[in-house]
Structure 1
Amino acid sequence: MSETYRIPGTPSLAVDLAGAGPLALFMHGIGGNRTNWRAQLPAFAPHFSCVAWDARGYGSSDDYEGALAFDDFVDDVLRVLDHFGVERAHLVGLSMGGRIAMRTALLHPDRVGTLTLLDTHEGFEAFSPEQRQAFVDSRRAPLLAGKEPADIAEGVARSLVGPKATQAQLQQLIDSIAALHKESYIKSLQATVDQVVLGDISLIRAPAHFVVGADDRLTPVAMHHEMAAKLGGAPVSVLPDAGHLSNIENAPAFNDAALAWLRPRAELGSVPRDWPH
């Protein structure tokens, strides 16, 4: 069973904790929060000290002053690791969380044991200008026009899930989008699109495993094979019956694939020195 805990600092971060072993940090996408991992923590907890965060400005984490630089998220990753006394962590990132994970591995290679990268991309350079504009306009324009996240939640959620998603899975995504902090979400959208490219991901040295839903329309399977080739032929697991939220839409397949790859590499991450259990 996970428990909610706060990482002090500005802004303070809310995290769910579970398990024991080397630390694995789970990072949600741009429209998510820590509850997006509720089907993962029980499966990973027997093998790893699991931390699922609400990124700054999300969920129960604090909002913050001023604009967001994407690398602020990277600084927050280091803050989490330092708080628990962890030298190297396993990073598990969905969509935006995957980009945070790759960026951390580029900037701080000594702090990253492995990367598990779900339904993600290496920056908006991989998208046409039209795709980029459509991504932002469908989310930001209604909010700037006075609507709230709850007003856009169902439309955005339906654009992300695959055709096999259940009503319960769709509702989980709708709920997480509806719970977004409006101003912080707009800042995240701006920072995401401003960062056209993460950097040269071929320089990443941490072992990586890509996981993608077979029906992911936003970041399709081919995009993951291209990234994997840049990382020396990293493995790509394609999950059936899943769209852009593969860990939610096909949790059993995700948990099986991710743990089969990660468990033999567990010792590449550090066991927390300070773990509140």
Structure 2
Amino acid sequence: MPITTNDGVSLHYETTGDGPTVVFVGDVGYGAWQWGWHHDAVAGPYEAVVWDLRGTGDSDAPAGPYDVATLAADLDAVLGDHGVRSAHLVGAGLGGMIALQYAHEYSRARTLTLYNTASSGDAVDAEALDALGLDRGPKQSLSGAFSPRFREDATDLVERITGWREAEDATGDAFAAQATAMTAFSAPPLYEVTQPAELYYGVDDPVVPSDAAESLAADLPRGTSEAVEGRHCSFVEHAQPVTDRLTAFLDQHTEDQH
């Protein structure tokens, strides 16, 4: 369903399931396909909210550059429109940065689950990030996202991912605007982000180095980190164990509320 932000940008989001709300916040360029595996694991006992960042999918693509503060305001507009009072946030890459900013600035964040995220854009390899863009070629741009073994062994799935990307991903100026938001990010004071937080990072991620992700977890008062085999989309490549951990984390912090 579409909403319009205060600056006139139309944002698209969809909801499935019934229960505590889990909101998925996407990475640079990638459409809603990136959350397909998580969505199936979560929707039902939880309400899953998936939205397209400005520049992606069915949302508007206003001229950039974008910044994380604006994207966090977009997230609040989505949650406000849907009447959500509190939500578990799950973000990847840029989406993790948006979740951090949102948790500091707004009152609805309940927990954070972050994939391949850093506290500063200075830690992001801008060239490796740019190489993930669909404009680099559907197959070539997957090399930084998935391990060689995955790309060789899961050829049918890789073909489906390529089709989903061609239908949903941000390209051109919209991709560049989102990438600028990621590389220009500087986290708010992390000691003030007190929500329970779990971070997962790809051990071979060319975009966000392992030490940057580990440092972020260490600086969050309630943060933990765990390595996952793979590259920038390690959370997709190893979706089953990652989503098992996610649902356990959500269950724990839902029970804590009772």
Q: TM-score range by the shorter chain?
A: 0.7 to 0.9
Structure 1 residue 167: deviation in Å? 2.5
Which 5+ residue runs of structure 1 have no aligned equivalent?
A: 141-148, 270-277
Map 1:7-46; keep pairs closer than 5 Å: 7-9=3-5, 10-46=8-44
Structure 1 residue 173: deviation in Å? 4.9
Map 1:187-266; keep pairs closer than 5 Å: 187-195=177-185, 197-232=186-221, 234-240=223-229, 242-266=230-254
Identity of aligned residues (%): 25
Q: Distance in 2 between matches of 1:138 and 1:25?
A: 27
Structure 1 residue 105: deviation in Å? 1.2
Structure 1 residue 150: deviation in Å? 4.0
The match for 1:161 is 146
Q: Distance in 2 between matches of 1:35 and 1:137?
A: 19
Q: Distance in 2 between matches of 1:213 and 1:190?
A: 22
The match for 2:111 is 114
Judge conservation of contact 1:36–1:248 (CA < 8 Å) in 2: yes
Structure 1 residue 41: deviation in Å? 1.1
Which 5+ residue runs of structure 2 have no aligned equivalent?
A: none
Q: Distance in 1 between matches of 2:130 and 2:19?
A: 42
What CA deviation, in whole Å up to 9, does each residue of 1:60-96 have, x standing for no partner?
1112245423311011111011111112211100111
TM-score (norm 1): 0.80
Q: Secondary structure at the match of 2:198?
A: strand
Q: Secondary structure at the match of 2:113?
A: strand
Which of 58, 61, 64 in structure 2 is aligned with 1:63? 61
Q: Secondary structure at the match of 1:55?
A: coil
The match for 1:100 is 98
Taking a change above 3 Å as real, the CA distance of residues 172 and 117 of structure 1, as seen in their structure-2 partners, is farther
Q: Secondary structure at the match of 1:38?
A: helix
TM-score (norm 2): 0.86
The match for 1:184 is 174
Judge conservation of contact 2:29–2:178 (CA < 8 Å) in 1: no
Q: Distance in 2 between matches of 1:36 and 1:139?
A: 13
Q: Please, what is the CA RMSD of the aligned residues?
A: 2.4
Q: Distance in 2 between matches of 1:119 and 1:67?
A: 22
The match for 2:137 is 152
Taking a change above 3 Å as real, the CA distance of residues 118 and 136 of structure 1, as seen in their structure-2 partners, is closer
Taking a change above 3 Å as real, the CA distance of residues 181 and 257 of structure 1, as seen in their structure-2 partners, is same
The match for 2:46 is 48
AA in 2 matched with 1:15: Y
242-251 vs 213-222, greater mean Cα deviation: 213-222
The alignment of Structure 1 onto Structure 2 pairs a total of residues equal to 250
Judge conservation of contact 1:18–1:51 (CA < 8 Å) in 2: yes
AA in 2 matched with 1:207: P
Taking a change above 3 Å as real, the CA distance of residues 214 and 193 of structure 1, as seen in their structure-2 partners, is closer
